[in-house]
A and B are shown apart, each in its own frame.
Chain A
Amino acid sequence: MKLIGGYTEEMRESIEKVEKTRAERMKKSFEAMSMDEREEVLNKYHPDYKPDKKRSVRVGPNKGDIAPHEVVDLLEAYPLIDEKDIDLKTIDYDVDLLIIGGGGAGTVAALWANENGISAEKMLMVTKLRHGDANSMMAQGGIQAADREEDSPALHYLDVIGGGHFANKPELVEALVKDAPFILKWHEELGVQYDRNPDGSYVERAGGGTSRFRLHSAKDYTGMEIMRVLRDEFRNREIPVLEFSPAIELLKDDEGNVAGAVLFNMETEQYYVVRSKATVLATGGFGRLHIQGFPTTNHYGATADGLVMAYRAGAKLRDLDTVQYHPTGAAYPEQIVGLLITEKVRGMGAQPVNRDGELFVFPMEPRDVEAAALIRECYGRNKGIETPTGMRGIWLDSPMIEEISGEGSIEKDLDAMYRMYKRFGIDMTKDPILVFPTLHYQNGGVEIDVNAQTSVPGLFAGGEVEGGVHGKNRLMGNSLLDFNVFGRRAGISAAKWVKKRGKPKKLSLKHVSLYESELKKAKIKPEKRSPMLLPDYRGEKALARMLDLF
């Protein structure tokens, strides 16, 4: 097959139409949808609004609540370990604070627990992959903070709660927006570099559903810049970390507090017992469950392990009925399908355009609305562009950015995007790129209060694993903010909790056994086991001949 500048001849024909309408489109935008129009497109086209793709959970604290099949499957799965096979008398790690998860929230929690009096040697971070292999590292667009005179935390509040379909927990939103400027100052003091104007003020941009320019970025490596500085600081403080050793079950003491975890060393396949006075859950989200078969922007380990463990320990979950599909995942070339095309591309002026070169939606609707509009254009109106593998997508007219902000602005501000496309022979400064919604974020999660305390004593949570902050739909730039705000609050609260407590007595997995008997009582067959730990992408041909010999 002949490719010209990375695209097929059919795609080239469509690109010509996009180029023809560009000058005209540059002059105008598209009207934003009314609330009724939003409702209509969501109901008809957003994957969340298909009732047959979800069901209610039959056991546990959220019995009767609706979630996607893939999530319910894991919540209703049987544990990986049996109480009687684990020796809880021999404690491998005896600490004040256990942090489960080595991404943004866990790292922030560790730093703030340390600031609040928990010494490094009394802490342990455990993580499934390497420290920093997390969605936090991959966030591109930016972090929201209402710090300009034209803006205010109250406006930020309004944007978050409206974007979340008014289902957010108000006090969590208040904490999010009021802590935001402080978090940026903390980052500055650690040496994070945000993009600046020549006068030293921040470059701030629009995000979908935000009423003010409030997005602070570090090119399109914002998450990476924040995460690598936080990790560097964590390393300077010599906080112990166990990599490739995920928690597979929480432990409780005789008073019902969370009191540690059982870990699994994935490389040696042995388990470890951790006793801790407080535990912070920072395990991230569920993108790798590929809900409804969607590709995902998420890292390899995003398999909802934290949800499963917390649920078995009795933690209440919330807002798991909605899933965030990012409007713009790569739809072409095949090698990068599903990977994130940051919202900043639209924030800098690139419009979504159909096969005939027409703009069909306001480019900055909240994510769920924008995603639904793209799906409608492809499958409702048949105006998508088909790729050689039969996938449909919409053009994101990236060359507009260069026309608006001048030649070289893509390489300067969207370096990661430019580099990725270049690797596959596409020059996004000259040609548009093809996108389609991709599974991006777990909107809900383990319910927390403003102190990041879950409904189970001794268990705190921060970042994507927790729920309530974003309601039914998160806005751009609020996840980097979330893991900082609630990771910090989790660390501070855990430190306070630790000071009041002695060593937990009588570690137990009884809650897991009880959960298992609940599953049996509900007549759920032991066909699946969880937590999932890692997805399995091995080829069918190889799997068909797999033997389990040693």
Chain B
Amino acid sequence: MSENKEKMITVYIMGKAYEVPFGLTIMKAMEYAGYRFIRGSGCRAGFCGACATVYRNKGEYKFQTALACQATAEDGMYLAQLPFVPANRKEYDIAMINPEKNVLSEYYPEINRCVSCNTCTKSCPQELDVMYYIQAAIRGDYGEVSKLSFDCIQCGLCAARCPAEITHYHVAQLARRIYGKYHLQIPEHLLKRIEDIDAGKFDNEIGKLKKMGMKELKEEYTSRTIEKIQRGEVTQ
């Protein structure tokens, strides 16, 4: 990439042209140009959605979207970041929800205005099937919304582009919580273990480890059995 690195490209940050080296992410290209982020930079690794970016390539009419930390800056990009999305979000008490009803449609009736234009899906930097999960939300299918929306980083680009003013990511968050709370059972082995801990079942054993001298403790550690990777059996 060393020869590529010397290649300079022109990007237009909010309309102003800057020369930056090729091979940087949009975020690093903006920093190279002299921008110091307050908004618009969060995890810098594609998980937080702080750097939602709208861009257009020179000579094209199409608006495109990306995460500034996860996309390479290309020659001729016109770049702008979304500092905040003033999206509607309903407050609710998760413990009081009736999971038998379609709460999504009740809290966010605007999902029924979806015209299936697919702009949300096209704007998603995670490439999720946003429109399909809104369809599932209209049907009240919490499991399907969960599955399709699970990788959502809540950047808000879908909501900003939607002609029906749907706030997809808040609808999906509600659906996932309902599915997690009401449709997935808490495993028995977890409840059993909590009961045992509360009853003090492990206190002696841990108490003994806490009091052990360094030499003895080290021995205890090195002689513990280790479960084999990839198989369920416990081996020395």
Q: Which among A35, A148, A182, A335 has the highest number of chain B CB atoms within 10 Å?
A: A335
Q: B34–A423 contact, CB under 8 A? A: no
Known A157-B206, A190-B177, A300-B43; judge A147-B193 contact (CB<8 A). yes
Report A37 CB to chain B, min CB distance, Å: 12
Q: A266–B94 contact, CB under 8 A? A: no
Number of A-B residue pairs at CB separation under 8 A: 237
| Complexed CA–CA distance, A131 and B136 (Å) | 29
Query: What per-residue 1/0 map shows which CB atoms of A525-540 lie under 8 Å from chain B?
Result: 0000000001011110
Q: Which among B4, B41, B179 has the highest number of chain A CB atoms within 10 Å?
A: B41
Report B23 CB to chain A, min CB distance, Å: 6
Known A191-B179, A224-B153, A340-B45; judge A130-B50 contact (CB<8 A). yes
Contacts of A390 in B (CB 8 A): 2
Q: B42–A299 contact, CB under 8 A? A: yes
Query: What per-residue 1/0 map shows which CB atoms of A422-447 lie under 8 Å from chain B?
Result: 01100000000000000000000000
Q: B34–A130 contact, CB under 8 A? A: no
Known A158-B220, A538-B34; judge A188-B184 contact (CB<8 A). yes
Q: B197–A178 contact, CB under 8 A? A: yes
Contacts of B45 in A (CB 8 A): 138, 297, 299, 336, 339-340
Asked if A52 lies at the interface with its beta carbon under 8 angstroms from chain B, I say no
Asked if A363 lies at the interface with its beta carbon under 8 angstroms from chain B, I say yes
Question: Which chain A residue shows the least CB distance to B190?
Answer: A147
Report B65 CB to chain A, min CB distance, Å: 13
Known A138-B47, A188-B184, A206-B227; judge A153-B42 contact (CB<8 A). no
Known A1-B4, A538-B31; judge A200-B190 contact (CB<8 A). no
Q: B38–A423 contact, CB under 8 A? A: no
Report B178 CB to chain A, min CB distance, Å: 7
| Complexed CA–CA distance, A424 and B180 (Å) | 33
Query: What per-residue 1/0 map shows which CB atoms of A148-187 lie under 8 Å from chain B?
Result: 1110111101110110001000110010011001101100
Q: A146–B193 contact, CB under 8 A? A: yes
Within A246-287, the residues touching B (CB, 8 Å) are 266-267
Question: Which chain A residue shows the least CB distance to B222?
Answer: A35
Asked if B46 lies at the interface with its beta carbon under 8 angstroms from chain A, I say yes
| Complexed CA–CA distance, A155 and B227 (Å) | 12
Stretch in contact with the other chain, from B74-82, B108-116, B209-217: B209-217
Contacts of B184 in A (CB 8 A): 188, 193, 196, 200
Q: A423–B70 contact, CB under 8 A? A: yes
| Complexed CA–CA distance, A133 and B2 (Å) | 33
| Complexed CA–CA distance, A218 and B150 (Å) | 9
Within A331-358, the residues touching B (CB, 8 Å) are 333-336, 339-340, 347, 349
Question: Which chain B residue shows the least CB distance to A400?
Answer: B230
Asked if A85 lies at the interface with its beta carbon under 8 angstroms from chain B, I say no
Q: B2–A154 contact, CB under 8 A? A: no
Q: Which of A147, A178, A238, A419 contacts B126 (CB 8 A)?
A: A419
| Complexed CA–CA distance, A335 and B234 (Å) | 41
Report A284 CB to chain B, min CB distance, Å: 12
Report A481 CB to chain B, min CB distance, Å: 14
Question: Which chain A residue shows the least CB distance to B172?
Answer: A228
Report B72 CB to chain A, min CB distance, Å: 6
Asked if A132 lies at the interface with its beta carbon under 8 angstroms from chain B, I say yes
Query: What per-residue 1/0 map shows which CB atoms of B84-121 lie under 8 Å from chain A?
Result: 00000101111000000000000000000000000000
Stretch in contact with the other chain, from A69-77, A229-237, A492-500, A512-520: A229-237
Q: Which of B48, B205, B230 contacts A404 (CB 8 A)?
A: B230
Asked if B3 lies at the interface with its beta carbon under 8 angstroms from chain A, I say yes
Q: B91–A238 contact, CB under 8 A? A: yes
Q: B42–A129 contact, CB under 8 A? A: yes
Q: B229–A364 contact, CB under 8 A? A: yes
Report A206 CB to chain B, min CB distance, Å: 5
Asked if B189 lies at the interface with its beta carbon under 8 angstroms from chain A, I say yes
Question: Which chain B residue shows the least CB distance to A3?
Answer: B1
Known A1-B1, A538-B34; judge A189-B181 contact (CB<8 A). yes
Q: A152–B205 contact, CB under 8 A? A: yes
Tally of B interface residues using CB under 8 Å: 79
Question: Which chain B residue shows the least CB distance to A423?
Answer: B70
Contacts of B58 in A (CB 8 A): none
Q: B217–A166 contact, CB under 8 A? A: yes
Q: Which of B1, B23, B126, B206 contacts A153 (CB 8 A)?
A: B206
Q: A153–B180 contact, CB under 8 A? A: no
Asked if A88 lies at the interface with its beta carbon under 8 angstroms from chain B, I say no
Q: B180–A191 contact, CB under 8 A? A: yes
Q: B180–A200 contact, CB under 8 A? A: no
Within A382-422, the residues touching B (CB, 8 Å) are 387-390, 404, 415-416, 419-420
Report A162 CB to chain B, min CB distance, Å: 4
Question: Which chain A residue shows the least CB distance to B4?
Answer: A1
Within B3-54, the residues touching A (CB, 8 Å) are 3-5, 20, 23-25, 28, 31-39, 41-48, 50
Q: B210–A170 contact, CB under 8 A? A: yes
Q: A416–B190 contact, CB under 8 A? A: no
| Complexed CA–CA distance, A465 and B87 (Å) | 32
Asked if A137 lies at the interface with its beta carbon under 8 angstroms from chain B, I say yes
In the complex, 13 of the A-B residue pairs with CB atoms within 8 angstroms, ordered by the A residue number, are A147-B193, A148-B189, A154-B202, A155-B224, A157-B209, A166-B221, A201-B189, A218-B150, A221-B47, A235-B89, A404-B230, A416-B47, A539-B33
Q: Which residues of B contact A (CB under 8 A)?
A: 1-5, 20, 23-25, 28, 31-39, 41-48, 50, 70-72, 89, 91-94, 126-127, 146, 150-151, 153-154, 173, 176-181, 184-187, 189-191, 193-194, 197, 202, 205-206, 209-210, 214, 217-218, 220-222, 224-227, 229-230, 232, 234
